[in-house]
Structure 1
């Protein structure tokens, strides 16, 4: 396992444990750097915490006293902790560098680093890129917001290995020197304003994916996204577009085929993944791997077999002619609108979740195929009103996922799609969108 070399800081504070904080702390300890850990809820008797203490970490729990910053010259924060946290605010006052653990991957990984971000489609695109490189029998590892801590993965990668990492705006905001050789910027819409406070702050956080790129690096970007376009004049890297509407440059598609530049890759009808959103993800992945030298056969092998990522328009089962899809990862309106555009069959939509103060009015144009809705969570009343404005007469408010699935089935007929695509984060009722998706799948199988 690799260690940090020539690291310029001597006293590090890790704020927030979870997987990313634990991995960062272990890296620092193994590298001979003094580590102080501050976590509000961690129990010092937990085996993982005890192990860190035994390795030499200083652990402070139960609160966030400003004294945790004493003698600290570097702070690694959990991505989810807001910058209003008093310790982070005080660290900013003291000009202490504040990063997320993905920053540490830049100190460790020696091969090609592919970083993927966007408001939607990150996990599918990241997974596609990984699968395509692997299908070409090249060394590749998967990391980032997809469930594998970047600095932990980077410790065991080889110099000839590609590391593909999915990055959120929370993670990117905490980067200073993070440098991907290939950056993929999928799209840029309104999201996470409860964290970033303004749309401009959110956009600037996303733009950090290319901030440290050089002329010999590559930015793969969505040529159909005007919000990304305004950042392009400042990009130093080679720019490779992908587009579902413009032909001839980068990765693109017509009615029959997908292409890279003037090279025909494969027929669209042979691709397993459905929907316009997934076509964008596919083109982004094709562009990223083509500039990385991956052969067409590997691309075709993946796209003719890859059926999707769990919780992202995931086909669950067919029961009595009804098709069930789990799109729990649709935590914003855009993701749900893409899901609705993926189906020609009538849809019973299950939606609702955390109230972030967002209007659902922009969802209405995409609801023409929705015959009924089942709503839940903090936004249930807002979504009920949105459904009525869209002319949907069958709307039911429920408390649990089992009730939602049962009611959706009662509304449905043969050949209907029963779709969980919440348009909201899950944290009002569930710990994660994965938990919400698993509850949906469990409820479907109980029918």
Structure 2
């Protein structure tokens, strides 16, 4: 960890706790800042805040009082989930107070270079693939970011011999200043999180921040099959490394004659890859490119791709129950992710879907429901998804209260050889705190069937 003096004796507000806020507050305190923490949860219900209080950090809990801005803070480090419409954030920006996320702190103190991965879909799978390839290739990787490990905590332990492989959300990328990954990846871009960003341009601009500080000494791996990503690449100062599942490229990562290739070299046959789903070829190509640029040999890449079957909650194989295969794709919080999941299987599918209603319809699913023999819905969007199911001609459609109740009903509708797939096409927040909780409940319900 670099012992920087950037924040020495500076008055800093950490807005919102959770794991990232706790780590950022403790780090800033260690770096000599005068830290105040503000969290909406009351102190009595907030063990994290109590722990910071014991370290000598000022803690204000129970609300976000705008009057805090009168205390002369020089910087705000906010939880990525707190929107920019928050009165304290809005007020700080009007006063010219910088608002960052802890990813920026991680970059400033890290001795290790970063491999940063973002995109609408495939971030976690790609991040995990890169990490596994670097680990198999003896490159000493560490994993961080939106995948569940706090970046500024990982960076404190990193040395020059490590690589930090970091998954980055648009929320995190909006709060960077100098952050510059050695290798940046955008897997793909589709409309998402518009309730947070307001417009698709704002969302895409946030994603583009991953390459905004890169120079010609860095690499930007990008999806050459998407015009929106191409436009971002054209603005980047980094060395451009395209990937494509649809065209044979002169340079970069691509598929040719059922081989995944990099810069003209055949690396591995597609038939040998263990990870299911055509959509995962995007993740595989971008991960392979990052690994090759990091000096990983083909043998290590091949070993990972022959054995890696997926990340939990991302088209995760759960179990086989009386010749029915169960898959947990709870991370499918948008329609595109569910489309990708449906395209991954040739067997008849019992689809479990539904969740938070963000105001959209689900007609985009229609062309991909041909292989769905039964539809079990739950949550706020249940009526909307059922309507699309009826239009698709699905005969067996029913609504249940929740995911746990959906599993035995799906089993009753199924026959040997069928796939029972949880792929909600919606966020979980109408019924569950996170998509992970929703997926874990599905897994537990499947094991109860046994």
Measured against the shorter chain, the TM-score band is over 0.9
Is residue 37–residue 60 contact of structure 2 (8 Å, CA) maintained in 1? Answer: yes
Residues 161-186 of structure 1, C-alpha deviation per residue, up to 9 Å, x if partnerless? 11000001111111121111100000
Match of 2:225 in 1: 224
User: Which of 398, 417, 427 matches 2:429?
Assistant: 427
Q: Normalising by the residue count of structure 2, what TM-score does the alignment of the two structures yield?
A: 0.97
Structure 2 residue 43 is the aligned partner of structure 1 residue 43: yes
Q: CA deviation at 1:233?
A: 2.0
**SS of aligned partner of 1:435:** helix
Structure 2 residue 152 is the aligned partner of structure 1 residue 151: yes
Q: CA deviation at 1:203?
A: 0.8
Match of 1:318 in 2: 320
Q: CA deviation at 1:225?
A: 1.3
Match of 1:333 in 2: 335
Q: CA deviation at 1:49?
A: 2.2
Is residue 113–residue 162 contact of structure 1 (8 Å, CA) maintained in 2? Answer: yes
Is residue 44–residue 61 contact of structure 1 (8 Å, CA) maintained in 2? Answer: no
Tell me the matched-pair count: 447
User: Which of 272, 275, 278 matches 2:277?
Assistant: 275
Match of 1:133 in 2: 134
Moved more, 253-262 or 25-34: 253-262
Q: CA deviation at 1:390?
A: 1.6
Structure 2 vs 1, CA of residues 405 and 196 (structure 1 numbering), >3 Å: closer, same or farther?
same
Structure 1 runs, 4 residues or longer, greater than 6 Å off: none
- In 1, the alpha carbon distance for the partners of 2:3 and 2:432 equals 37
- In 2, the alpha carbon distance for the partners of 1:349 and 1:166 equals 29
Match of 1:190 in 2: 191
**SS of aligned partner of 2:307:** coil
Q: Normalising by the residue count of structure 1, what TM-score does the alignment of the two structures yield?
A: 0.98
Q: CA deviation at 1:3?
A: 4.3
Structure 1 residue runs without a partner (length 5+): none
Is residue 223–residue 229 contact of structure 1 (8 Å, CA) maintained in 2? Answer: yes
- In 2, the alpha carbon distance for the partners of 1:162 and 1:9 equals 31
**SS of aligned partner of 1:273:** coil
**SS of aligned partner of 1:177:** coil
Residues 163-174 of structure 1 aligned to structure 2 (within 5 Å) = 163-174=164-175
User: Which of 281, 288, 292 matches 2:294?
Assistant: 292
Structure 2 residue 70 is the aligned partner of structure 1 residue 73: no
Is residue 252–residue 258 contact of structure 1 (8 Å, CA) maintained in 2? Answer: yes
Match of 2:236 in 1: 235
Structure 2 residue runs without a partner (length 5+): none
- In 2, the alpha carbon distance for the partners of 1:446 and 1:316 equals 12
- In 2, the alpha carbon distance for the partners of 1:220 and 1:26 equals 34
Is residue 3–residue 155 contact of structure 1 (8 Å, CA) maintained in 2? Answer: no
Residues 24-82 of structure 1, C-alpha deviation per residue, up to 9 Å, x if partnerless? 00000111101011101142575432331122211111111112222101001111111
Residues 203-246 of structure 1, C-alpha deviation per residue, up to 9 Å, x if partnerless? 11111111111111100001111221122221110110111111
Is residue 221–residue 289 contact of structure 2 (8 Å, CA) maintained in 1? Answer: yes
**SS of aligned partner of 2:157:** coil
Residues 17-416 of structure 1 aligned to structure 2 (within 5 Å) = 17-43=17-43, 46-69=46-69, 70-248=71-249, 249-416=251-418
Q: CA deviation at 1:388?
A: 1.2
**SS of aligned partner of 1:283:** helix
**SS of aligned partner of 1:241:** strand
Is residue 112–residue 155 contact of structure 2 (8 Å, CA) maintained in 1? Answer: no
- In 2, the alpha carbon distance for the partners of 1:44 and 1:383 equals 41
Is residue 112–residue 160 contact of structure 1 (8 Å, CA) maintained in 2? Answer: no
- In 2, the alpha carbon distance for the partners of 1:241 and 1:283 equals 10
- In 1, the alpha carbon distance for the partners of 2:304 and 2:192 equals 30
Moved more, 63-72 or 301-310: 63-72
- In 2, the alpha carbon distance for the partners of 1:427 and 1:257 equals 40
CA RMSD of superposed structures (Å)? 1.3
- In 1, the alpha carbon distance for the partners of 2:377 and 2:272 equals 35
Residues 74-131 of structure 1, C-alpha deviation per residue, up to 9 Å, x if partnerless? 0011111111111111111111101111111110112221000000000010000001
- In 2, the alpha carbon distance for the partners of 1:202 and 1:9 equals 35
- In 2, the alpha carbon distance for the partners of 1:377 and 1:296 equals 45
**SS of aligned partner of 2:246:** coil
